[in-house]
Every structure is written in C-alpha cells, then in structure tokens.
Amino acid sequence: MSSIVTRLSEDGHHLVLAPGESLAFRHYRQFRQAYETAPDTVRRLTLDFTRTRQLDGAVIGMLGLLRRHAEARQWALEMCGCEGCVALLFEIFGIEFNTPPQALSANGRQ
C-alpha cells in the first residue's frame, strides 16, 4: 500500500501531502484523513507528486473533494512534482491547483 507522507511547517501554516508511488481509490480514506485532520492554523496545502508515478481515475474525484474542502477552509492550494503520466492526466482533465493566498477572501485568513 502506498503511503501518504504528511508534513506540517513549524508555524503550522503550510501542510504538504506527498503520495507514494501510486495514488488510487484504495488510498481514499488515508488521503482524506490527511487533510481533514489538519489543524486550524493551516493556510496553504501543497500536493507533492514527486514520488508518484501512477494514478487511477478515482483520483480526479478525490482532488475535487479536496478542492471543496480547501475552499471551505480558505486554503491556498497548489501542486508540485507533476511529471510523466501524472502531468498528462492532470492536463487532460484540466486540473491545476495554484491558488495564490491573495486570491482568498479578505477575512484575514491567508
């Protein structure tokens, strides 16, 4: 089973989720728990796909749910390390997460 590594910055404002070599529906619970249990101090979430080489179609739905959660919590959301089939899949489906903090609502949460 591929693990999802979670890193939180020292100040608690930046959460990084880094899936393993593959990300599929079988990882849904672990993936969702990784962001749903984030502390209230988080302002930015980065998905780091540097280690990821395979995705299945369920990932599109998983990312849609993540986007909704991030919008509700007013997080900036970004992706990095997208290469090969990961980048191709995201390009085909038009998935891009690069929401700058200044684009968030002006209620002081950045």
Residues 64-71: contacts with CB under 8 Å, at least 24 apart = 65/32, 66/31, 66/32, 66/35, 67/97, 69/35, 69/36, 70/35, 70/45, 70/99
- Which letter does DSSP use for residue 104 in this model? S
Query: What does the pLDDT look like over 28-47, one tens digit per residue?
Result: 999 999 999 999 999 999 99
Q: How many domains, the chain?
A: 1
Please tell me the pTM assigned to this model: 0.82
Q: Is residue 94 part of a domain?
A: yes
Q: Which CATH number belongs to the domain containing residue 37 in this structure?
A: 3.30.750.24
Q: Which two tokens stand for residue 20?
A: 């393993």
**Which residues form the domain of 66?**
4-103
Phi, psi of 34 (to 5 degrees): -60, -40
What is the Cα–Cα distance from 19 to 52, expressed in whole angstroms? 6
Q: pLDDT-based confidence at 107, cuts 50/70/90?
A: very low
